[in-house]
Structure formats: structure tokens, C-alpha cells
Structure 1
Amino acid sequence: MIEAVRNDPKLDALEKRLGHMPNMLRVMANAPAVLDGYLGLSRSLKKASLPPATAERIALAVGAANDCGYCVAAHTHGARGAGLSDDEVEAAKAGTSADPKEAAVVAFARELTESRGRADDAAVREAGWSEAQVLEIIGIVALQTLTNYVNKVAGTENDWLPL
């Protein structure tokens, strides 16, 4: 178990900017290079062409595949904020969606996670997602895998409940 950092000027500045300090970031603060890497990739992927609801679906599919309760709770919150219904949240966790284009994305993300990167992108491409978007999906899967592993190893206290 890795303890969360409580007193850190960098975290104080980040909390002021975010308005909330997730326990996951307090855990990552034990290794500034990990925290900086997470924040940098997270910021970059927010500029991606994928809609926010799609990114949340991917995060839910990966978190569920990796059995990370912390990340599933955090991204359930994010998915609701992105306009997803409870049914769509549950579908994303199962690796599907009522929308065929979104279903292709979450199935690919889940397959990518479960196969450790050995996934065929043909269905995603056939559903209308571009080469750049396939790479963005991979980036989100990689970022979520990092957070899933950090939270599972650290036993991060879930500050996203109740949902």
C-alpha cells in the first residue's frame, strides 16, 4: 500500500486549479515523474478529437476490465458529467454501447486491455473512426492502465463514492 501525500505545495496549486484533489493524485505525488507524466498525457488527450463521452466510455471499459473500483467510480462520475445515462455507463463497463460506432470503440478498448495490446482495429475503422482516433483510443487505454495499476497497488482510498 502506498500512502497519499498530504502536504505538498505542488498539490496545493493543482487543487486550486482543479477545485478538487483526487486521492489518486496524492498517491502519484510520491513519484513526481509519474504525476507529471500522468498530468501531461491527460492534458494532451483532452485535446484529442474523440468526444468526451467516448473518452469516458473507454475509461470505464478499461477500468472494468482491470477491476479498478477507484477508476470505475471516478469515470462513472465523469461519464454522467459527459451526458451518459446509467444504462450507457453499465454498457461501457461491459465493453459495449447501444450506439454501434461507440460499441466498436469500447469493444476495441476492452480487447486492447485484455489482450495486452494485441487487438485488431478493423472494426473500429469500419465504424468510421480515423487512424488518428484509433491512436487516441490507444493513448486513453494506456493512460487508464497506468491509473488502474497505481490505484490497485496503492489501495487508493475511493473519494468518488457515493456515485
Structure 2
Amino acid sequence: MSRIPQPASIADAPAKSQPLLEAVAKQLGSAPNMFRLSSISPQALEGYLAMSGALNKGALPAATRERIALAIGQVNGCNYCLSAHTYLGKNLAMLDDAEIAANRAGGSNDPKADAAVRFAARVAVDRGHITDADFAAVRLAGYSDGQIIEIVQHVALNTWTNYFNEVFQTEIDFPVVDARQAA
């Protein structure tokens, strides 16, 4: 159970959050607990959705974005996010179990995606204090400056959701994945 009560339904959320939750439910088929819990602050929900929406229109493929989310969820030990992104990775990005395991280990079985995931994990682990070699590796793999910026933004976005869900102990509403268990 969450540390603070979340709205039981979209109708129970603050009025300013209701249209945002309805849009999430339309896109995902429901409004997952993380969204309902963050709806307590309409500004927080709006901010998250704005950043997420902008990045979803970026230059990184959806599968790469999910791979990064899995790597960052593992780095930060967020069971909610690992559960959500394992589900989304399998069902939307069509990642197989071996790929999800590689992502959680900070890499990928796809050579180009591997560079992005390794870079993202390094950014998270080293809190942005990467080396010139780390930067050169992601660039050498063919990522543009804009794509590298997006990778860093995905690290920030996923770190926020990881911290949010760990702080508030958001109840997991996806098949449960435990960060302490190997993928």
C-alpha cells in the first residue's frame, strides 16, 4: 500500500488531473497507480506527461527508450518501474526475455542500442560524471548530439519515476519484477 492514499478512480482525482488521467487511460487502457498517485499534484502529473510526451516524439526508437527505462530502473532498484517497463517492453516494444535481462544488466543484445543503454546506465551510476571515453563510445555507435541529449533526458525522467515510486511505495499494478532478483 502506498505511503499516501491515491485516488481510487479518475473521478476521485483532483479536477485538474482528471483530463490528464483520461488521456493516459485512453493511451494505455487504464490509469496505472503511478499516474493516479502523481495526480494528487496536477502540476507534477502535467510536468511528467509533458516531458514524457516530448521525448516520445524524439529521435530514439520506442524499444531503445524501454531498454533505457529498464536499465535505470535496475540501477535505482525500483520494483514498480521494473515491473511496468518489463510489461511494456514485452508487450509494446516486443523485447524478449534475453533482451530485458541484458537491459537490466546495463546493456543490450542489439549493438547500437547497447551503446545507448550502456551510456544511460553509466550516466545514472556516475550521476552524470561520465568520462570522455563514455561519451566517445555512444557517439561512435552513431548517436547524434540530439540523440545523446535525449538519452540523458530519459535517464532523468526515469530517475524521477524511480524515486517517486520508491518514496511513495506505489502499489505495483503490473506483473511484479524484483530488482534484487536476476532477470
Q: How many residues align?
A: 163
Q: Deviations over 1:80-107 (max 9, x none)?
A: 1212111000100000112221111111
- For residues 77 and 38 of structure 2, what CA distance do their matches in structure 1 show? 19
- For residues 46 and 151 of structure 2, what CA distance do their matches in structure 1 show? 21
Cα drift, residue 26 of structure 1 = 1.1
Partner of 1:32: 42
Instruction: Pick from 113, 132, 154 the counterpart of residue 124 of structure 2.
Output: 113
The CA RMSD over aligned residues, in Å, is: 1.5
Cα drift, residue 162 of structure 1 = 5.3
* Aligned residue identity for 1:146: W
Mark the runs of 5 or more structure 1 residues left unpaired by the alignment: none
Cα drift, residue 130 of structure 1 = 0.6
Cα drift, residue 17 of structure 1 = 2.4
* Aligned residue identity for 1:159: D
Asked if 2 retains the 8 angstrom alpha-carbon contact of 1:53 and 1:79, the reply is yes
Partner of 2:180: none
Q: Deviations over 1:86-136 (max 9, x none)?
A: 100010000011222111111111111111111232110011111000011
Q: TM-score, normalising length from structure 1? A: 0.94
Secondary structure, aligned partner of 2:146: helix
- For residues 2 and 141 of structure 1, what CA distance do their matches in structure 2 show? 26
Partner of 2:181: none
Q: How does 1:31-110 map to 2 (within 5 A)?
A: 31-80=41-90, 81-110=92-121
Q: Give % identity.
A: 44
- For residues 35 and 15 of structure 1, what CA distance do their matches in structure 2 show? 11
- For residues 108 and 25 of structure 2, what CA distance do their matches in structure 1 show? 36
Q: TM-score, normalising length from structure 2? A: 0.84
Partner of 1:130: 144
* Aligned residue identity for 1:47: K
Secondary structure, aligned partner of 2:123: helix
- For residues 15 and 52 of structure 1, what CA distance do their matches in structure 2 show? 17
Partner of 1:4: 6
Mark the runs of 5 or more structure 2 residues left unpaired by the alignment: 178-183
